Each structure stands twice: as structure tokens, then as C-alpha cells.
Structure 1
Amino acid sequence: MTDGLSGRLRNSTRARHQALETTGFATAMLAGTLPLDRYVGQLAAYRVVLEALEGELTRVTCPSVASVWSPDLVKLPLVERDLHHFANRGTAPEPGPAAAEFAQEIHRTAATEPRELLGILYVLEGSTLGAMFLYRYVTEAYRLTDGNGAAYYGSGDRTRWAAFTERLDRTLGEPAVQERVVAAAERAYRHVALISGELSVGLDSPAAV
């Protein structure tokens, strides 16, 4: 029995996912030495990306996308809540150019083949599962309490993820469409790596490429 789309996505992007774990940003976060402005900088970058992605997913009329996309996948309000928290504490870095480039990729994808947006969504929704593991490191490093400043990192949910991947597998079974969605996910990982690379400048480990 062959893998469904979610299995193909997992296998095809595994190496890119592992590479992200070796960036200076990731290793510093695990060591508890990531500067606060880098953590908030990632949130600022993801705000740009999520605003583009969730906006496009909400507007698209493609039946396949509508069958997979669900309001419970929305993360933009969580990132904005975190950014508001840190802005009130005087930390409000501007996102680097990689975030805008990713947003442009999302808008192009929506205009040409909306189903490919689901590959990008797979990457960003999947990142919240990793954030579940990192949540403790973030809250300890920046002394965050009651979820303040860590709403996005605390948003992972395995039940939601399982429902999302089940919808992906059920809705997108055509091999040619799956290939395009996998390719979109790989492009998304490349953009995430560029964001991580910007945030890793001056830290110990080399950025993923």
C-alpha cells in the first residue's frame, strides 16, 4: 500500500526539516541563549507569512482547498498576540526580506494553482508540532508566564494535525496534484530556511540552505 499525500510530504521534506534543526537559531533556542529579538523576529516574520497564507486560503474558491482548510488552523491572531506582548515590553523587530519573499511566493501560488497552498500549509501547521517541544525552552528563557508571549509556540495540537492530514489524504489523491503539493512544500521549507538564516546571523551554527 502506498503512502497518502501526508506520507509523501513527510518523506520528501524530512531532510529539509532536519536541516532547520541545525541552524544557529534552533541550536541557540535549545541552549537557552537565543537573544529575545531573534525569537520575536521569527514571530514578526511568521506574521507576514501567515497573513498572506491564511488570507489566500480564506479567499480561495477551489473545492479541494475548501475541503482541507479549516478555521481551527488559523494562527495569525496568536502571533499577533505574542507580538503585542513584546511590543509593550519594548521589543518589536522588523521582519527581514525573507518573510516578504515567502509572502510573494504564496500570492503567486494562489494565483496559479491554489491546491499547492496546501503544501505550504502542511509545513507551517507541522511547525507547530515542533513548537510544542520548544515551548518549555521559550517560556524559561524569556520568563514568560500564563502563555503571554508564547501563544503561537503553545498552539500545537496532535488531534488537529491528525484531522488535517486525514483531510489532505482524502481530498488530494491524484498523483499529479500530489507532486505539485509536495513541490510547494519543498519551496516552503526553502523559504523557512531563509528566514531562519536571517535570524541565525552572528550565532554559532551555520544557517540551513
Structure 2
Amino acid sequence: MTIETATETRSQRLKAATRDSHGALDKRIMAGDIFASRGQFARFVRVQYRFHRDIDALYDSPGLDALLPDLEGRRRLPQISRDLVDLEQALPTAAAAPLQPDLPLPVALGWLYVAEGSNLGGTILYKMAAKLGLDAGFGARHLAAHPDGAARHWREFTAALDSVVLSAGQEQQVIDAADAAFRSVHGHVEEEFA
């Protein structure tokens, strides 16, 4: 059980509140043995594509753009699409309607928190993908760190996320949305690795 203190930031509370769903997702992905071959890795990239296709419209939101630094530069769907082409994969078809850019702010923030967190974690996966001959120029460009560094890019995002003024009810909406995002990715993993 996490004891919440007044000094905890929103991003810290999100991390604590989604620890179980995030941990279960990480374990499921690694159980897919994604670095056993390029084919297995391609399944993981297809999961990434499905998730980022679901959230891509959020990067077009003027309201979010005003609150979050370099929102357009954080969009990863184009890189993921190119990685799938490199890996000779067809783009997965949509199973459900993607999120719309006019989502309530707390919901959008929760989904973007998960997307940005995966970018930070992607730097570890990027190093492992190198063993398959994949890199920022071929097959793993979506995992490559931001030119300013993954940690700095994450800190800029969380600083902006933490500074958005929300009510107590909206705080819970952010947590619920982040948890829903993790569950959504888990569903995509099940589709690709079933």
C-alpha cells in the first residue's frame, strides 16, 4: 500500500497507482521472447503500432499542445510504421476506433503518460534490439532515445504533466485513464502473441 504525501507529484502518484498493471504488461511482453528473432520483435512492434495508432490523434490537440512541451515531436507512429516496413510487416488493421483529440483533459493526460513512459523504457529495449541488427536507421527507430536524451525528455514531460491544475476527481480520472492505457496495450499484446 502506498502512503500518499503532499510532496508526491502527479507523475509519482501515477507510477505508484499503475505499478501492478505496468508490471503485468512488462512481464507479458518479455514472456513473448521479443528478442529471440526479428519475427518475434516484429510482433512487439505491431503492438506498439496498435497502441500509438489508438492515441495518435491526441498529438493534434491544440489544448494538449499548449500544456505539454514538443507534443508533435513526441509522436512516434510514423517511426513505428517505418520500422514495420523495415521488418516486412503489414500495418495491423484497427480493431476499435482510435481515441479522439477532444478527450477530457485528465483522460488524455493518462494515456499520454503511458506513451511517454514507454518511450523512456524503450531505451533499454533499443540496446537489446541491437543484437538483432536493428537500430535508429532500421527496424528500431521508434525505440531510439530523443536527441536531448531520454531522461531529460521524460523529465520535461513529467514537469509539464505535474504542473497542470486538476481537481481531486480529475486526478482520479488521470489514474484511471493510465490504467486503461496499460490494459489496452496488454490487450494488443494478447492479440499479437496469442
Partner amino acid for 1:20?
A: L
User: 1:94 & 1:51 partners in 2: Cα distance?
Assistant: 10
Is 1:151–2:141 an aligned residue pair? yes
User: 1:146 & 1:105 partners in 2: Cα distance?
Assistant: 27
Q: Is the 8 A contact 1:37 1:92 kept in 2?
A: no
User: 1:134 & 1:46 partners in 2: Cα distance?
Assistant: 13
Cα distance, 1:146–1:7 mapped onto 2, change above 3 Å: closer
Q: Cα RMSD between the aligned structures? A: 2.5
Pick 1 or 2: higher relative contact order, CA cutoff 8 A, min separation 6: 1
Partner amino acid for 2:191?
A: E
Work out which of the residue numbers 109, 131, 147 in structure 2 matches 1:118: 109
Work out which of the residue numbers 171, 178, 185 in structure 1 matches 2:178: 185
Partner in structure 2 of residue 83 of structure 1: 84
Return the offset for 1:105: 5.7
Is 1:68–2:68 an aligned residue pair? yes
Partner in structure 1 of residue 3 of structure 2: none
Cα distance, 1:118–1:158 mapped onto 2, change above 3 Å: same
Partner in structure 1 of residue 56 of structure 2: 54
Return the offset for 1:61: 4.2
Larger relative helix fraction: 1
| Equivalent residue pairs, number | 185
Is 1:106–2:129 an aligned residue pair? no
Percent of counterpart pairs with the same letter?
25
User: 1:146 & 1:7 partners in 2: Cα distance?
Assistant: 30
Partner in structure 1 of residue 127 of structure 2: 136
Cα distance, 1:3–1:40 mapped onto 2, change above 3 Å: same
* Structure 1: segments with no counterpart, 5+ residues: 202-209
User: 2:95 & 2:65 partners in 1: Cα distance?
Assistant: 23
Q: Is the 8 A contact 1:65 1:114 kept in 2?
A: no
3-state secondary structure, aligned to 2:139 = coil
TM-score by length of 1: 0.76
Partner in structure 2 of residue 12 of structure 1: 17
Partner amino acid for 2:76?
A: K
Cα distance, 1:42–1:95 mapped onto 2, change above 3 Å: farther
TM-score by length of 2: 0.81
Q: Is the 8 A contact 1:57 1:117 kept in 2?
A: no
Is 1:95–2:102 an aligned residue pair? no
Cα distance, 1:116–1:163 mapped onto 2, change above 3 Å: same
Is 1:43–2:45 an aligned residue pair? yes
Partner in structure 2 of residue 22 of structure 1: 27
